[in-house]
Amino acid sequence: MSELISGSTSRQLSQAAFERAQRLMPGGVNSPARAFGAVGGTPVFIDHAEGATLFDVDGNQYLDYIASWGPMILGHRHPAVVEALEKAIARGTSYGAPTEAENELAERIIDAVNSIEKVRLVNSGTEATMSAIRLARAFTGRDLLIKFAGNYHGHVDSLLVAAGSSAATLGVPSSPGVTVGTSQDTLVLEYNDVEGLRNAFAEHSQKIAAVVFEPVVGNMGVVRPSQEFCQSLETLTKASGALLICDEVMTGFRVAYGGAQHLLGIQPDLTTLGKIVGGGLPVGAYGGRVEIMDRVLPAGDVFQAGTLSGNPLATAAGCATLRILKDEPPYELLERLSARLAAGLQNAAERAGVAHTVARVGSMLTLFFYSESIVDWRSASKCDTKRFAKFFWGMMDRGIYLPCSQYEAMFVSAAHSEEDVDRTIAAAVEVMGEL
């Protein structure tokens, strides 16, 4: 592979592209994280990608640690995925009718995730979570939902809420356009707070339809749940008749073939998926026990539909990706590379005397600019985000593309090599020295 950029970098074409984009789209982007709002500066516009490398419109190259925010576990343009897409597109792009590829993808998901007996394919992680919550409310006949601060489940109105004045206080809207009525049935608790969870169930037990959570958090940086927290989630929901919804849009097939629930030994009632199950194309899915899933139309009475659900291109890419993950599992390689990277980043920060902590689960990791363990949003919010921004741009100028926020996870792909990881660590040592 040719040398990556180093030192001062020209991004004039990206600058021009962003100026044009700002005249056309709100903030110049189609998803807020791409705007570099958390780190400042102009976002880089990508021209193409290959393996573990991104190429921007100015011709600069970057080692990629965002992997399209998770789905590119095999790297960009994996030959098997490209071949599957080429074959699918030669036959057509959308039919509005069933295909056998939908069956195959559903079978692969059910085979991999122990808690899923039936699955419904949708178009995004947001749609999957929205649908799972509606289903949980219909199945239980209850309205109340528990979520956790710092967990992101898509831009569903009822989930865009901020915590109230106490652990068991109803949430209030955190975005204009979200009504009080929409959010009044959502409780916001602190992640890993077992006592707060017990108190919420003690007060609202017979009103709670479901608890939705990230089994490994990736949207306040990587945060792992405690064993007691996981056990309490299962015990309290089962005892009260509420459902446990495991949001594995990010972690599904990423931290393990069976997802984070396999890694942690938990058995949710419903699971939401996305990202990897579409091989990098827009996709989502939700699934669970037969008696719950059979409430979904047309088998049951809970409405959910989508013109492009089970799209032939997304199912082709998803089937190809899951086939490789099962037949040629990369998880040992990902574990080895990710552990090497985490240790190298920690050593670089220690050598520079920079306050930090590194969190990692499988091929997801975060370098937090804070010296204590991150267990919830309260501790995550204490990070030095200004220092992270300086670190981010220092790494970018050395050809290392990191997530553009302290609170997003880094992802290692099977296309990375030990040489790539060592080059990343060497860059981090230089940048830490400058901080």
Residues with catalytic function? 152, 247, 275
Closest CA relative to residue 409, chosen from 41, 65, 33, 152: 65
Q: Is 253 exposed, middle or buried (0-12, 13-18, 19+ CB in 10 A)?
A: buried
Alpha helices in 9-78 (DSSP H): 12-24
Q: Over the range 3-20, which residues count as b (16 or more CB within 10 Å of their CB) and which as e?
A: ebbeeebebebbbebbee
Q: Over the range 376-409, which residues count as b (16 or more CB within 10 Å of their CB) and which as e?
A: bbebbeebbeebbbbbbbbbbbbbbbbbbbbbbb
- What is the identity of the amino acid at 33? A
Q: Cβ distance 140 to 292 under 8 Å?
A: no
Residue 211, phi then psi, degrees to nearest 5: -115, 125
Contacts of 87 (CB under 8 A, 6+ apart): 316
Radius of gyration of the chain (CA): 21
Residue 366, phi then psi, degrees to nearest 5: -140, 135
Please give the full DSSP string across 113-153, using - where no structure is assigned.
Answer: -TT-SEEEEES-HHHHHHHHHHHHHHHHT--EEEEETT---
129 is written with which tokens?
A: 């979570």
Angle of helix 312-327 relative to helix 100-112, nearest 10 degrees, comes to 40
Q: Is 96 exposed, middle or buried (0-12, 13-18, 19+ CB in 10 A)?
A: exposed
**Other CB atoms within 10 A of residue 48 CB:** 11
Closest CA relative to residue 208, chosen from 163, 231, 182, 241: 241
What pairing do the DSSP bridges indicate for beta strands 172-173 and 161-162?
A: antiparallel
Contacts 24+ apart (CB under 8 A), 85-89: 85/313, 85/316, 85/317, 85/320, 87/316, 88/312, 88/313, 88/315, 88/316, 89/313
Q: Cα(263)–Cα(287) distance, rounded to whole angstroms?
A: 18
